[in-house]
C-alpha cells in the first residue's frame, strides 16, 4: 500500500491523530478514543499502520491470556510531502481532501459527544477569504507551518489536551489577471 492510500483513510487518520504527541496506546485505549469504530476495524487498521512502518510496538503484556501491545507513532514515518503531493492526480487530491473532511466531521462529532464546552475549549470553524498573490500564499503557509510546528513539539502534559488543527487552503476562483 502506498503512502497516499495509507494515510488518506479516515479511520487511519483518526488513529494517527490519537497517537500524535508521543502518546502510547493499546487497542483498548484506541477503542475508547474512537467508540464509533468497531474493535475489529481498529485492529485491522493498526495492523496496516504497523506493517507500513507508521507505528512501532513499544511494549507487550499478558492480559487474560492474550497479548496486549502498546503502540507509538514512529517519528520517521511516511508522510505526504511536497514531492508526493506534486505527483498526485486531481482524483488523488479529491480523495485525500474527502478523507480529511470525513475525519474532521468524525472527530468533531466525537468531541460533541464527550460533554463539550465549545466556548471554553476555544472551538472555531470560521472561514475567511483572503486575497493573496503566489508569494504571499507561500509566506503565509510558511508562517503557519512554523506556528503549527511549535505546537506539535509539545507533548502531553499537565493542563494540556490535544487539539486538531486543520488549516485548509485553496483558491476559490481563477485569477482575473
Cα–Cα distance for residue pair 76/37, rounded to 1 Å = 27
Biggest CA–CA distance in the chain, Å, is 69
Identify the DSSP state of 60. Answer: E
- Residue 46 domain-assigned (yes or no): yes
- Residue 12 domain-assigned (yes or no): yes
Which pLDDT does position 177 carry in this prediction?
59
Residue 58, phi then psi, degrees to nearest 5: -110, 0
- Residue 18 domain-assigned (yes or no): yes
Which pLDDT does position 73 carry in this prediction?
92
- Residue 135 domain-assigned (yes or no): no
- Residue 157 domain-assigned (yes or no): no
- Residue 127 domain-assigned (yes or no): no
Domain that holds residue 38: 3-118
Q: What is the mean pLDDT of each run of 10 residues along the chain (177 residues)?
A: 86 91 90 93 96 92 90 86 90 92 89 89 89 94 91 85 84 70
| pTM score above 0.85 | no
How many distinct structural domains can be found in the chain? Answer: 1
- Residue 144 domain-assigned (yes or no): no
- Residue 159 domain-assigned (yes or no): no
What is the CATH classification number for the domain harbouring 71?
1.10.10.10
Amino acid at each position: 500500500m502506498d503512502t497516499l492510500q495509507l494515510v488518506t483513510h479516515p479511520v487511519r487518520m483518526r488513529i494517527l491523530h490519537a497517537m500524535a504527541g508521543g502518546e502510547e496506546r493499546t487497542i483498548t485505549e484506541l477503542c475508547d478514543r474512537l467508540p464509533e469504530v468497531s474493535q475489529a476495524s481498529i485492529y485491522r487498521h493498526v495492523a496496516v499502520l504497523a506493517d507500513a512502518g507508521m507505528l512501532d510496538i513499544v511494549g507487550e503484556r499478558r492480559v487474560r491470556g492474550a497479548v496486549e501491545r502498546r503502540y507509538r507513532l514512529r517519528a520517521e514515518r511516511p508522510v505526504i510531502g511536497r514531492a508526493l503531493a506534486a505527483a498526485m492526480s486531481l482524483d488523488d487530491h479529491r480523495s485525500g481532501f474527502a478523507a480529511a473532511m470525513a475525519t474532521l466531521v468524525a472527530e468533531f462529532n466525537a468531541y460533541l459527544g464527550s460533554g463539550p464546552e465549545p466556548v471554553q475549549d476555544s472551538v472555531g470553524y470560521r472561514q475567511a477569504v483572503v486575497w493573496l498573490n503566489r508569494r504571499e500564499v507561500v509566506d503565509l503557509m510558511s508562517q503557519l507551518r512554523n506556528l503549527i510546528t511549535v505546537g506539535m513539539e509539545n507533548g502531553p502534559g499537565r493542563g494540556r489536551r490535544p487539539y486538531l488543527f486543520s488549516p485548509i487552503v485553496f483558491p476559490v476562483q481563477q485569477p482575473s489577471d
